[in-house]
C-alpha cells in the first residue's frame, strides 16, 4: 500500500489512526443487490484492509490508538417516522457496516491490546448534513439537546481517544447522540 510506505518513510510509523471513511452506494432498502455488494467491498473489506495496514504502522511506534467512527445506526434500528414525507431513507447496509465496526472494534482491542494499541469506536448520531427540513424538525424534537450534531461536536471525543489521556480505555464504543437514547 503506497500510503503505508509513505507514512513509514516520513514518520517511521503512526501514533494514531482515525478511521472515518464510508461510501454510500446504497440509498434505499429496495436498491439492487449490486449496491449492497459494492457497499460490502468498500465499507467492509476496504475498511478492514486499511485498519490492518495502519495497525502495523502503530505497532512500529510501540503502540498508540485506533479510533473507529461508527454510528448510532450500528446500535439501534431506524425510526422510520423521521423519514415520512421526505425523499430520505435509512439504507440497511449502513446499519450493517456500523454494527460490524463496533464488533470489530472489540475484536481488535483484544487482538492489539498486548501490543499497546488501543482500539475504540465513537458512534455519533444525528450529524447534520443538509437533510430535509421536515426530517431535521422531527429529529430535533426527539433529542434532549434539541439539535443535530455539528461537524465540530465529535472532535473532543476523537482527541481524547487518540491521546494518552485515555490510556486505559480500549474496546469501547462511545455513543454521541445528544441524549436521543438516554
Tell me whether residue 168 is one of the annotated catalytic residues: no
Catalytic entry in 94, 115, 128, 142: 94
Return the SS3 of 176: strand
For the record, the C-alpha cell of 163 comes out as 491521546
**128 catalytic residue (yes or no):** no
Cell numbers given for 70: 461508527
HSE-CB for 175 with a 13 A CA cutoff: 12
Using CA atoms, how far residue 172 sits from 18, 59, 145, in Å, is: 15, 20, 23
Q: How far apart are CA 40 and CA 30, in angstroms?
A: 16
**Set 71, 107, 123, 167: catalytic member:** 71
Known active-site residue 98: yes
H helical segments located in 120-182: 133-142, 155-162
Q: Which of 98, 115, 129, 167 is catalytic?
A: 98
Active site residues: 71, 94, 98
Amino acid at each position: 500500500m503506497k500510503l503505508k510506505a509513505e507514512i513509514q518513510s516520513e514518520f517511521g510509523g503512526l501514533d494514531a489512526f482515525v478511521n472515518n471513511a464510508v461510501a454510500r452506494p446504497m440509498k434505499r432498502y429496495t436498491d439492487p443487490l449490486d449496491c449492497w455488494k459494492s457497499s460490502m467491498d468498500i465499507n467492509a473489506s476496504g475498511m478492514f484492509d486499511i485498519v490492518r495496514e495502519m495497525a502495523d504502522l502503530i505497532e512500529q511506534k510501540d503502540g498508540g490508538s485506533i479510533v473507529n467512527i461508527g454510528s448510532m445506526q450500528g446500535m439501534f434500528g431506524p425510526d422510520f417516522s423521521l423519514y415520512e414525507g421526505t425523499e430520505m431513507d435509512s439504507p440497511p447496509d449502513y446499519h450493517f457496516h456500523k454494527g460490524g465496526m463496533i464488533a470489530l472494534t472489540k475484536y481488535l482491542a483484544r487482538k492489539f491490546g498486548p501490543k499497546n494499541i488501543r482500539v475504540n469506536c465513537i458512534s455519533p448520531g444525528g450529524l447534520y448534513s443538509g437533510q430535509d427540513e421536515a426530517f431535521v424538525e422531527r429529529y430535533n424534537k426527539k433529542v434532549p439537546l434539541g439539535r443535530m450534531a455539528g461537524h465540530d461536536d465529535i472532535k473532543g471525543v476523537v482527541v481524547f481517544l487518540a491521546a494518552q489521556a485515555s490510556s486505559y480505555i480500549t474496546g469501547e464504543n462511545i455513543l454521541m447522540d445528544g441524549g436521543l437514547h438516554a
